[in-house]
Structure 1
Amino acid sequence: MRYPSIIHHGAVTGVTGSCHQLQMDDEHALLIDCGLFQGAETSPEGRAGAAKLAIDFSLDGIKALVATHVHIDHVGRIPYLLAAGFKGPILCSEPSAKLLPIVLEDAFKLGFSRDQKQVERYLKLIEQRIVALPYKQWFTLIDTKQLSARIRLQRAGHILGSAYVEVDLQYPETGEKKRIVFSGDLGAPHAPILPAPKAPYKADVLVIESTYGDRLHEDRRSRRARLEKVLEHALSNQGTVLIPAFSIGRTQELLYELEDIIHRRALRASAKTQPSASMPKASKAPVLDWANLPIILDSPLASRFTSVYRELDQFWDAEARARLVKGRNPLAFRNLLTVDSHQAHLAMVNRLVQTTQPAIVIAGNGMCSSGRIVNYLKAMLGDERHDVLFVGYQAEGTPGRQIQRFGSRSGYVEFDGQRYDIRPHVHTIGGYSAHADQKGLVSFVTRMTHWPSEIRIVHGEPQAKALLAEFLCKCYQAQGRCVSVAVPELL
């Protein structure tokens, strides 16, 4: 076999279950991510509900795992990896090192045991395995006469701590050198809070995600204006806006944008002059009281992540840090209410169902397949006063995708075997995806000084992968460059 070679264990027939094995030589391999499959992707055949948790590939020679970021579809199978006998270190960025134990504690409780002693033993093991790497610094993995291997993490701009991975390989006996880059999940260039990703200097082989490889996001200003318009329309019905959101990344971006909308509304209100006494007073509809609008974060996990985001503000971008300097706190503002206990959660659901006080609820999980958002949906889908707002990708086979697809057609969704008619307005603002769009993905390649000669496209639906591949090939042709673009199948 010719080395290096890449074996894909996930995220090649869809957008979840990221797991890629870089075989560096006969004896040394590196694993990039080990994530859960979600929705209809819980099996390589696409059978919703099929078990896809146990590690079904050999761990021989795998010396380390690199976690590009802590989303569950990239790290959710780490407990199963350890159970299968993996003994190596878990390499990740410094922010991810703080977030990963929180994610894996939750995964362990859901998949293995809630016994506190077992949880504590497991977390101690995780913390012993984690090696936190600073961004931009090379870390030597292997240094022998046959192989020299080192890795470097660079900011990916997707969520706090996210990274793309550069792997430098040298084979002293042959003099061959290769640089392989794994994109992980790349962030949108103008996303809130985090700096935009910068393209690497070079890559010989690139493994790149393609979640939004077939579309473009709207720009941030129009996206925020549309968010404000959707909220204003929805809340004028004196109902609740339900936003299913992932606990890390999307939730913090939403809080950041909501704080800014409320801040701007307050400035606008204070700048208004009183109408002249000679001017007739026009009749107006009731004005939404933005200053006292409750923003309800109903997710203990999201609250924990938000606290870590606040602690690690040195990793924020310049705009976000400037707001802190001005005395604003985008992730802990006055309107924000957090709901922790299950009892308080149920009380909040009942309160919002029974009252006509406008409110915005952000609750997990992002694809409506479990979590507290399900109780809100069960209680509110039958009432047209309420609205459902999707701001992130909904995988095929998830309730979120069903609501998104059929909600505008008086459809229904099933939870726990029971049918719920969808009467609220259903909105989608795709620009709030934490993923780069087609332009961002292509720029990641074309802004390299030395373009890769081989590109493998993963982590996307078939159309997204096909269109991204087509567009990249056209870019290479326009520059008179050669490239091999592959869309791998699950191996």
Structure 2
Amino acid sequence: MKVRFLGGAREVGRSAILVNDSLLLDFGMLTGNPPQFPVETPDPDAVVVSHGHLDHVGTIPTLLSGTSRPSIHWTPPTGQLALTLARDTLKLHGGTLQCPFTENDVQRVTEASTVHGYQESFAAAGHEVTFYNAGHIPGSAHVLVDDGDTRLLYTGDFHTDDQRLVAGTTARPDADVVICESTYSDVEHEDRSTLEERFARSVKTTLWEGGTVVVPAFAIGRTQELLLICEKYDIPCYVDGMGKQVTEMLRQYPEFVRDADALRRAKSHARFVTGRDGQRKRLTDQKAAIITTSGMLSGGPAMTYIPEIRSNPTNKITMTGYQVEGTPGRDLLETGSAEIDGRIMAISAQLEQYDFSAHADRTGIRELLEAYADAEILVNHGDRCDRFAAELRADGFEASAPSISEAIDR
């Protein structure tokens, strides 16, 4: 088996792995200004997608430009999420270098798409492929690829602990080679119930004091997780941005969430923002939590809310996810100011960060890898891949951290 890394090696973003020159695993983009795409656009016979986050699906429509028509395989939620993200990218950046595909390319994606459930093997580019629940977001999958000689497990992004939205992964299919994500390989997550209670207590305190809490959140997975937490702790909340559409869509796939009834209650508990007639500015005077995109303050309705609440120290901004270096969210946490709509804004509102990660931490990654002590481990999707691979080798694993463009034959 030949494996070549076109993105996502020793970095977080633009995941893209080509197997035997014919089967492509993921094809994402690295958000930024400008965004970064995989180092090569291959011409595979088939594409298999692990899950519906931008860094794994964001560049897929480019694969169907020109005369190329690879088949695309994913779970039902992942297919819907990929199309939602592609159309959002077109809406925001269509016709610019930040959007490398057209509306016609997106339409071709729908024509080439085939959906599969978990543990339903299928053929793709001459390989047998099977999805297993990865516990990251609804529809996320470990991808097992068998070419007849080698069994390759691509973990995609995964979590071993339960979240409110999805249950943690328990799948450990036999494999000879494992491509393992390592986003949080040097971090131990806080106990989730303790984290939730600390978040709820902080938000409620601000509301009691007459303030407003803006909660920047990723539209896919994180927004729904926070809605479930707000319903559980009876926190009044609004939801804005793409998270509204994603929440509605995920309710169509109850078998891919942990508790469909809880998600229904959470949606009913929240109030969806329409954005009409100055609603957003009026909401900044409400004693409520406003859950809104974007999670890294790089666009979306957050650009309206943050300037409105930033000067009042009673208000609060609670960041809820990983902040990529160079994003306004990262700048805000590190310096207390950020570039919002072209202006550097100092923030007097309180700033807090919570690790509601949907990725496994160090313990979770090691727990999964314990099942693969006899396999070769290829570490990717992290900013310390080489160091984590060295730690694994010191513990007896056969492990390495491939570089971008590197090809490995097994």
TM-score over 0.5 for the alignment? Answer: yes
> Partner residue of 1:429?
354
- Aligned residue number for residue 308 of structure 1: 249
> Which position in structure 2 is the counterpart of 1:284?
none
Amino acid corresponding to residue 379 of structure 2 in structure 1: I
Deviation of 1:455 after TM superposition, in Å, equals: 1.2
Is the CA contact 2:64–2:105 (under 8 Å) kept in the aligned structure 1?
no
Amino acid at match of 1:98: Q
SS at match of 1:229: helix
1:77-476 map, 5 Å: 77-83=59-65, 85-112=67-94, 121-143=104-126, 149-170=127-148, 177-262=149-234, 293=236, 295-299=237-241, 301-317=242-258, 320-321=259-260, 323=261, 329-334=264-269, 336-341=270-275, 343-344=276-277, 347-353=278-284, 355=285, 357-407=286-336, 412-430=337-355, 432-446=356-370, 448=371, 450-462=372-384, 465-466=385-386, 468-474=388-394, 476=395
Offset of residue 78 of structure 1: 1.5
Residues 22 and 125 in structure 2, CA contact (< 8 A), matched pair in contact too? no
Query: 1:37 maps to what in 2?
Result: 30
Cα distance, 1:382–1:85 mapped onto 2, change above 3 Å: farther
Deviation string, structure 1 residues 75-125 (Cα, Å, up to 9, x no partner): 1112323236531011101222333322222223333369xxx98755542
SS at match of 1:384: coil
Q: Which residue of 2 aligns with 1:9?
A: 6
1:40-59 aligned within 5 A: 49-50=33-34, 52-53=36-37, 56-57=39-40, 59=42
> Is the 2:52–2:77 Cα contact (8 Å) retained in structure 1?
no
Using the TM superposition, give the Cα deviation of residue 382 of structure 1 relative to its aligned residue in structure 2, in angstroms.
2.2
- The answer to whether the 8 Å contact 2:23/2:124 transfers is no
Q: Distance in 2 between matches of 1:437 and 1:51?
A: 27
Residue 45 (structure 1) aligns with: none
CA 311–142 in structure 1, closer or farther in 2 if over 3 Å, else same:
closer
Match of 1:140, as an amino acid?
Answer: A
Q: Does 1:18 align with 2:15?
A: yes
TM-score (normalizing by structure 2): 0.91
The structure number with the bigger radius of gyration is 1
For 1:257 and 1:231, locate their aligned partners in 2 and report how far apart those are by CA, in whole Å: 11
State the alpha-carbon separation in 1 of the partners of residues 68 and 312 from structure 2.
Answer: 50
Answering whether residue 404 of structure 2 is matched by residue 484 of structure 1, we say: no
* 8 A Cα contact 1:438 1:468, kept in partner: no
SS of equivalent residue, structure 1 residue 488: coil
- Kept in 2: contact 1:368–1:374 (CA 8 A): yes
Q: Distance in 1 between matches of 2:230 and 2:133?
A: 25
> Deviations for 1:252-301, whole angstroms, at most 9, x for unmatched residues?
11111111111xxxxxxxxxxxxxxxxxxxxxxxxxxx5xx3x11111x2
1:32·1:67 contact (CA, 8 Å) conserved in 2? yes
Contact 1:30 1:64 in 2 (8 A): yes
Question: Does 2:42 match 1:66?
Answer: no
Relative to structure 1, is the Cα distance of residues 452 and 50 closer, same or farther in structure 2, using a 3 angstrom cutoff?
A: farther
Cα deviation for residue 470 of structure 1 reads 4.4
Tell me, which stretches of 5 or more residues in structure 2 are unaligned?
Answer: 406-410
Aligned residues: 401
**What whole-Å deviation, never above 9, does each CA across 1:321-348 have from its counterpart, x for those lacking one?**
5x55xxx8333223x111134x35xx23
Deviations 1:46-75 (A, max 9, x none): xxx34534x652524x11111111111111
- What displacement does 1:315 show? 2.1
What amino acid is the match of 2:92? L
Does the 8 Å CA contact 1:181/1:206 hold for their aligned counterparts?
Answer: yes
What is the SS of the residue equivalent to 2:363? helix
Please state how far the C-alpha of 1:383 moved relative to its aligned partner.
2.1
TM-score, normalised on structure 1? 0.76
Give distance in 2, aligned partners of 1:188 and 1:424.
35
Provide the C-alpha distance between the structure 2 equivalents of 1:52 and 1:120, rounded to a whole number of angstroms.
Answer: 20
> Unaligned regions of 5+ residues in structure 1, if any?
40-48, 144-148, 171-176, 263-289, 478-482
User: Quick check: 1:244–1:365 contact (8 Å CA) kept in 2?
Assistant: yes
What's the % identity of the aligned pairs?
29
Residues 425 and 120 of structure 1: is their aligned pair in 2 closer, same or farther, counting only changes over 3 Å?
A: same
Shift, 1:360, TM fit? 0.5
RMSD: 2.3
How far is the alpha carbon of 1:188 from its aligned partner?
Answer: 4.5
Q: Which amino acid aligns with 2:12?
A: V
How far apart are the structure 1 equivalents of 2:228 and 2:265? 5
Q: How far off its partner does 1:193 sit?
A: 2.2
